[in-house]
Amino acid sequence: MNPLQQLIRDRMAERGWSYADVARRGGIPRSTVHHLATAENLRRPPHRATLEGLAEGLTVPVGVVSAAAASAAGLAAWQESTVDPELKSLVAALTRLDATDRRHVLALVQSMLSVDRSN
């Protein structure tokens, strides 16, 4: 079970809610709640409006839902506040690399940071 499924199912069980209850509370379609609660692998995280509606429906912060959705889609949620879209994309893309490729990227970054740029 992925983190988003777990979050949805746990909150529904804690509160005794159905998919329809969560959907109504969050202003999103019941089919969307059902899909997110049962889809094992997400190709990409849901749109922001869906995440906000799901958070409202589950009565949890949107950041919790966003992090769970990102993880369910195989991405890492960037917790530090940034406005740089390239930085957000880079961090998200790194989680899709295998361990060997991540080590290569790390070595490249470390070598770039150690270069004396004062010349």
- Min mean pLDDT across 11-20, 29-38, 45-54, 87-96 is at 87-96
pLDDT averaged over the chain? 86
Q: How far is CA 33 from CA 25, 30, 39, 62, 99, in A?
A: 11, 5, 10, 15, 33
The tens digit of pLDDT for each residue in 57-66 reads 999 999 889 8
- Min mean pLDDT across 35-44, 50-59, 88-97 is at 88-97
Under 8 Å between Cβ of 29 and 23: yes
Give the distance from CA 13 to its chain's centroid.
22
Enumerate residues 6+ apart whose C-beta is below 8 A from 118: none
**pLDDT at residue 68 tops 80:** yes
